[in-house]
């Protein structure tokens, strides 16, 4: 049994939702789609008949999973933000895909049937939660015997540029780290994914790590964009002033405007856990 869920915990999502963030989530999918798909292939997504996506955002990966499963399958995709569910519901899956059912729900209280899913997927949600272990235990409880849990999450401290940019490192040191400490989340939770699987009674069957590097395109500016969106919240928490935050972001933008600068985006970890231990 898992600890009783606490609906208020970790539900203060710090980024915009719905139409305001859909383009950024598309960039996230472009950048981190390959490692996510590789982990899902390792979890045998094509053979799955029922799949859950926890914290589905605008449904980018739910639609991809549905396309791999075929028309007899079913994807249940939940998110805590109604605006995400609203946008996701407006984007049709590819013809011939599994059906996708979007629901409002929390990672702590998914509201989905236990022991019913072949694959449960969760990307870039645990880093926003105060109790990721509690959420992973809930996800594990959704798995059929032999089912697979695929977790994808990051280490934001590993974001850097070549040649180096002091503004990037300063933003991490002066804003990202104090902010995560203040709101009690872990933006490097990717490194702890195997421990989280173990804590939920699952074995770790695969671990993958990916850190794409870009010299152009919107992908190159993903974290500048993300940090700009989150700055107001960091200022409200008192970890940085607006002037200093804007100065650091402007410094990053000046640096990365050059085609000679390459940006290594946050390192991403993907793990596949199996419920064999739950048999
Ligand atoms: C960075 S987005 C990732 C969305 C999607 N998984 C993807 O990879 O495109 C994080 C998502 O987690 C959702 N979220 C945050 N806290 C949550 C919670 N406690 N339960 C469920 N979803 C949550 C947010 O609303 C947001 O849609």
User: What tens digit of pLDDT does each residue of 27-62 get?
Assistant: 999 999 999 999 999 999 999 999 999 999 999 999
254 CA distance to ligand 1 middle (Å): 30
Output phi, psi for 160, to 5 deg: -155, 170
What is the distance in A from the centroid of ligand 1 to the CA of 258? 32
End-to-end Cα, the chain, rounded Å: 15
In this structure, what token pair is assigned to residue 59? 């449904």
Tell me, yes or no, whether 7 lies in a domain: no
Q: Ligand 1 pocket: which of 11, 53, 55 to mutate (most atoms <8 Å of CB)?
A: 55
- Look at the chain and report how many structural domains it folds into: 1
| CATH number of the domain residue 222 falls in | 3.40.50.150
Q: Is residue 258 part of a domain?
A: yes
Position 6 in a domain: no
Give pLDDT tens digits for 62-91: 999 999 999 999 999 999 999 999 999 999
Rounded distance between C-alpha atoms, residue 182 and residue 188, angstroms: 15
Q: Which long-range contacts (CB under 8 A, 24 or more apart) does 79-82 make?
A: 79/55, 79/104, 79/105, 80/11, 80/13, 80/55, 80/104, 80/105, 80/106, 80/107, 81/13, 81/17, 81/18
Task: Quote the tokens at residue 19.
Answer: 């139409």
Q: What is the pLDDT of residues 156-205, one digit of tens each?
A: 998 999 999 999 999 999 999 999 999 999 999 999 999 999 999 999 99
Give the integer Cα–Cα distance in Å for 188 and 135. 16
- Identify the domain containing residue 35 by its residue range: 19-278
């Amino acid at each position: 049994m898992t600890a009783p869920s606490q609906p208020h915990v970790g539900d203060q999502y710090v980024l915009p939702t719905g139409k305001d963030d859909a383009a950024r989530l598309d960039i996230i999918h472009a950048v981190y789609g390959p490692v996510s798909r590789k982990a899902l292939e390792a979890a045998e997504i094509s053979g799955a008949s029922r799949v859950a996506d926890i914290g589905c955002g605008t449904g980018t990966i739910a639609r991809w999973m549905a396309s791999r499963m075929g028309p007899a399958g079913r994807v249940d995709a939940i998110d805590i933000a109604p605006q995400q569910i609203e946008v996701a519901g407006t984007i049709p899956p590819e013809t011939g895909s599994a059906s996708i059912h979007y629901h409002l729900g929390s990672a702590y209280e998914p509201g989905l049937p236990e022991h019913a899913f072949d694959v449960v997927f969760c990307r870039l949600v645990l880093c926003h939660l105060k109790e990721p272990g509690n959420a992973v235990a809930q996800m594990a409880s959704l798995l059929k015997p032999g089912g697979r849990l695929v977790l994808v999450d990051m280490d934001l401290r590993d974001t850097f540029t070549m040649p180096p940019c002091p503004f990037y490192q300063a933003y991490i040191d002066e804003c990202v780290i104090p902010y995560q400490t203040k709101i009690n989340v872990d933006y490097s939770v990717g490194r702890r994914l195997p421990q989280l699987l173990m804590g939920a009674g699952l074995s770790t069957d695969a671990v993958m790590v990916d850190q794409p590097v870009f010299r152009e395109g919107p992908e190159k500016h993903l974290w500048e964009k993300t940090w700009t969106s989150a700055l107001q919240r960091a200022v409200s928490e008192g970890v940085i002033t607006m002037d200093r935050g804007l100065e650091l972001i402007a410094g990053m933008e000046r640096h990365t405007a050059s085609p000679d600068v390459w940006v290594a985006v946050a390192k991403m970890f993907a793990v596949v856990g199996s419920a064999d231990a739950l048999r």
